[in-house]
Amino acid sequence: MSGISDTERMITLKTVEGTLFDVKSSIAKDLKTVQAFIDDSDDDVTSPIPLPNVFTRELSRILDYLNNHHRFRSGIEKADEEMARYDAEFAKSMSHEELKALILAANYLNVKDLLEFLNQTVADVIQNKSVEFVRNFFGIENDYTPEEEEKLRNENEWAFNGVEQD
Amino acid sequence: MTLPPELLEIIFLRLPVRSLIQFKCVCKQWRSLISDPYFAKLHYDVAIAPTHNNNTKLLYLSSDFSRACCVKTEPSIHHDYPFKLQETYKNHSLRIIGSCRGFVLLRNYKPKPVLILWNPATGSHVRVPYPNNSSNSEFPCPDFFCHGVVYEKSNDDYLVIMGSVRPLKRKPEWKFFSVRSNSWKEIEGGDCFTPNISMGHQLGLLYNEAIHWLVVYNGSDYPRGIVIVAFDIATKTLSMIPLPYPQDPSQWELSLVGGAGFFGICMLNEFWPYIFVMKEYKVESSWILIDMLLPSDNTMIPLCFTQSGDVVWMNRINKDLIKFGKLGSNEEELQEFKLDFCDKDTVLVMFNESLLSLPSSCRQEE
């Protein structure tokens, strides 16, 4: 009787809302925080691993991303284009709030590739935008007085008078 | 919901300098993160890493000296945002003579001769006095022919290097200025490397922790002629790299060309140019002639290589830029580009923008 190979082992994860997700251990490897937890446990982990900082919506998206990327990587050569298309759709499908929530979740779970992709996505979004847009995006309150802000803008006038203005 | 500083920093590392300067206005925490000197270093290192796919830009002063204009070379040549020049610099004797880590080295003759090291993005700058020439009062400031600025990593210091020869004295003088110690020092062993007056002002080529110029060699190790001299930043010594083959200066025009990890020399005769690159740094036998599309006249000089292996050329007369690609590939299209606000004296220098500031100088105790 052949033994069950390592990649077929399933890990169960539990979100804040109590939803359970069954994840192949090969996917769980990309959730480095989870993998560290598994490595630290002496026995096989059978009971669901609780993720107190991760909501169902975020975990679902993260697993979707990882499953798709695993599929693209192990597939045929054309996967690069498909992967780029998937990534673009993935980024577009989220509101700014959802994007931030996903970054926090990906950071907590230490999902390296996804985190890099999300950070780049945010950088691309805010790169050519105004200061007001950026404040809105990150939910930041302006703590400068009007005089302070004007002085700062004047000192760096060249940066605001760019070739591209959004 | 806002992101914690460590995640913000990772996003900041992916933003260009101009965005970061603007975003200092978002809030005081952002200004503090963006102005941090450690962040500036990290941001620069990430930006110039080969994996980052960020090409070096070309920078030049506008003909009315109101701004420093930038040109990006990939995917196609296009203008990037300009930097404003301070009022005090608006002066027709202002000239770019070097660049390093987002700093530009400028030379100014009026009202007094002075060198200026300046980061156009942060405004951080220092005025560098010309070296003392107490030995000959008739020529208070020799006209320099080899100049450049480099970064000394071990000391977090910027060095301005000058190689010159005065008209009446045939002996060359090599010196370097340290921003941290705020003083000039002699460079030993420069006697056999004489800047060649006919080559005019050369921008040094930074490569492999050294800076390079073309000079005349008259030492004992090699026949007299034009060679490449390398100033090694760590050891502060000069050494010689022979050319692909001996040059008769009257027949050929030479210029060093680099960028995108290449170390090359362009040799231009009365018809057309040849470009050699050194496959292995300092190994004389490793010069190879590159096989690529080249302009078929001698009005063009090469400015730099790009990451995709193309070369950007400049027409010496009208300063038009043309990008030539690899021979035999689809990229044989010539892209022509007209610079804005330039004139016949415009000098273009390779430039990597940064948020860096100069170290503060501390006078050496006697």
Return the residue in A104, A149, A156, A160 with the most chain B beta carbons within 10 A, the one to mutate for interface testing: A156
Q: What is the pLDDT of residues B32-56, one digit of tens each?
A: 999 999 999 999 999 888 776 667 8
| Pairwise pLDDT comparison (B196 vs B350), residue with the higher score | B350
Instruction: Please check whether residue A21 is in contact with residue A15, taking contact to mean a CB–CB distance below 8 angstroms.
Output: yes
B344 contact A CB<8A: no
pLDDT at B247: 67
pLDDT at A5: 52
Determine the Cα angle at B268 with ends B309 and B261, to 5°. 25
pLDDT at B186: 93
Return the residue in B1, B2, B6, B7 with the most chain A beta carbons within 10 A, the one to mutate for interface testing: B7
The answer, yes or no, to whether residue A166 has pLDDT greater than 60, is no
The answer, yes or no, to whether residue B304 has pLDDT greater than 50, is yes
pLDDT at B133: 57
Q: Which residues contact B262 (CB under 8 A, 6 or more apart)?
A: B277, B305
Confidence band of B340 (pLDDT split at 50, 70, 90): confident
Confidence band of B330 (pLDDT split at 50, 70, 90): low
pLDDT at B56: 82
pLDDT at B176: 95
pLDDT at B318: 86
User: Residue written as tokens 């170290």?
Assistant: B359
* Helix H or strand E segment including B277: strand B273-278
Return the residue of A nearest to B79 by Cα: A163
pLDDT at B334: 72
Backbone φ and ψ for A83, nearest 5 degrees, come out as -65, -40
- Which chain B residues are Cβ-neighbours of A109 within 8 angstroms? none
The pLDDT mean for chain B works out to: 85
Q: What is the pLDDT of residues B175-187, one digit of tens each?
A: 999 999 999 999 9
Mean pLDDT of B265-290: 88
Mean pLDDT of A6-35: 88
Mean pLDDT of B333-350: 84
Distance (Å, whole) CA A43 – CA B279: 55
Work out whether strand A10-14 and strand A49-50 pair parallel, antiparallel, or are unpaired: parallel
Name the residue facing A138 among B3, B22, B83 (closest C-beta). B3
Q: What is the pLDDT of residues B57-84, one digit of tens each?
A: 999 998 888 889 999 988 788 888 888 8
Q: What is the pLDDT of residues A101-124, one digit of tens each?
A: 999 999 999 999 999 999 999 999
Name the DSSP class of B331.
Answer: G
Confidence band of A165 (pLDDT split at 50, 70, 90): very low
